[in-house]
């Protein structure tokens, strides 16, 4: 089973030029990003969640966690792409995002501060998520054994 990399863009963080879905609309498209080995086309789906946005990608989160160079390069390129449109975001593993939606209220789903507090409590080393952008709170790094 493949789990995908997602991004959460909080309310007010999306800048001009970011594709913005209206109500239940999902905007899907492919975007070529520059990676270490050349170009890679990444599939995106953007949807409105609460007052913010969720961006799904076809980057394999399991391969990213296992340190596959191609997925690491793709995630870095997409991080930069997302931050080109949003001043703040969280990159998150699909399963954590699904769990967040199960435990959070509708009003908290787009709150980046609430999300980061919850993520820090559940994954303090930041193995499955990363805070991106200005004012980002980074997870506490733990030494690898």
Number of residues that this document lists for the chain: 145
End-to-end Cα spacing for the chain? 27
Token pair of 102 as six digits: 């199960």
CA 99/CA 13 separation, integer angstroms: 23
CA 25/CA 36 separation, integer angstroms: 33
Tens place of pLDDT for every residue, the chain, 145 residues? 789 999 999 888 888 888 889 888 999 999 999 998 889 999 999 999 888 899 999 999 999 999 999 999 999 999 999 999 999 999 999 999 999 989 988 777 767 888 999 999 999 999 999 999 975 554 443 434 4
């Amino acid at each position: 089973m493949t789990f995908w990399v997602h991004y959460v863009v909080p309310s007010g963080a999306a800048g001009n030029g970011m594709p913005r879905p209206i109500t239940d609309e999902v905007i899907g498209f492919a975007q070529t990003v520059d990676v270490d080995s050349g170009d890679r086309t990444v599939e995106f789906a953007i949807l409105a969640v609460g007052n913010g946005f969720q961006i799904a990608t076809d980057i394999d989160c399991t391969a990213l966690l296992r340190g596959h160079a191609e997925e690491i390069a793709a995630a870095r390129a997409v991080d930069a792409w997302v931050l080109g449109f949003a001043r703040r975001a969280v990159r998150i593993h699909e399963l954590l995002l699904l769990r967040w939606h199960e435990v959070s209220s509708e009003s908290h789903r787009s709150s980046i501060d609430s999300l980061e507090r919850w993520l820090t409590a559940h994954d303090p080393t930041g193995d499955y998520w990363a805070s991106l952008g200005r004012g980002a709170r980074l997870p506490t790094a733990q030494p690898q054994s």
